[in-house]
Each structure stands twice: as structure tokens, then as C-alpha cells.
Amino acid sequence: MPKDGSTFANGYTKRHEAERKRWKPKVDAGLVNCWRCGQWLDPAQPWDLGHDDQDRTKYRGPECIACNRGAGARASNAKRGYLPRVNRQW
């Protein structure tokens, strides 16, 4: 990773990295559960630092990849006005 010459989203990246570093020892020790679904975070598996859905400037803590992708999909679906519909009539 280049240390200089790169200013892209630098403030965000630094804060994100600092927060990840704060959590990493705990995840590595197997002490952290995903804040969204409560699933235990396996230190051998990748994890993401989750944002608050209401306030993207706030970090909520580590979350599993499935929840992180799910949250992103839900947000973009909402932006597109997508509403799931069930047409089956049992």
C-alpha cells in the first residue's frame, strides 16, 4: 500500500483502519460477535467494520461479511425503490 502520493479518501481510510486495528486483537482472540446478527466471528474468516445504518460516520463494530453485503444490498435496493413482492397465493 503506498504511503505517500495517495490522498484518495485518506481521512476516511485512516479512521477506518484505526478502528479496525482497535478491534482486531479482540476478533483474533475470538471474543467478538457480529453486531448485526450476533454470529461469532471466526478469526480465520474475513470480517468487516460495520457502520451505523442511520449515521454512516459512526462505527458499530465488526460484522460478518454476509451482514455487510446484506446491509449494502438493502441500502441500494431502497434507493432504487425496490420492494420485494410475493405473488404466490397458497
Summarize as ranges the residues that interact with Zn ion (CB under 5 A): 34, 36-37, 39, 64, 67
Strands (E), the chain: 47-51, 59-64
Query: Around Cβ 41, how many Cβ atoms within 10 Å?
Result: 24
Q: How far is the CB of 36 from Zn ion (least distance, A)?
A: 4
- Coil, strand or helix: which one is 64? strand
Q: How many residues does the chain have?
A: 90
65/78 with CB nearer Zn ion: 65
Q: Which is nearer to Zn ion, 22 or 69 (CB)?
A: 69
Q: Which one, 36 or 49, has the nearer CB to Zn ion?
A: 36
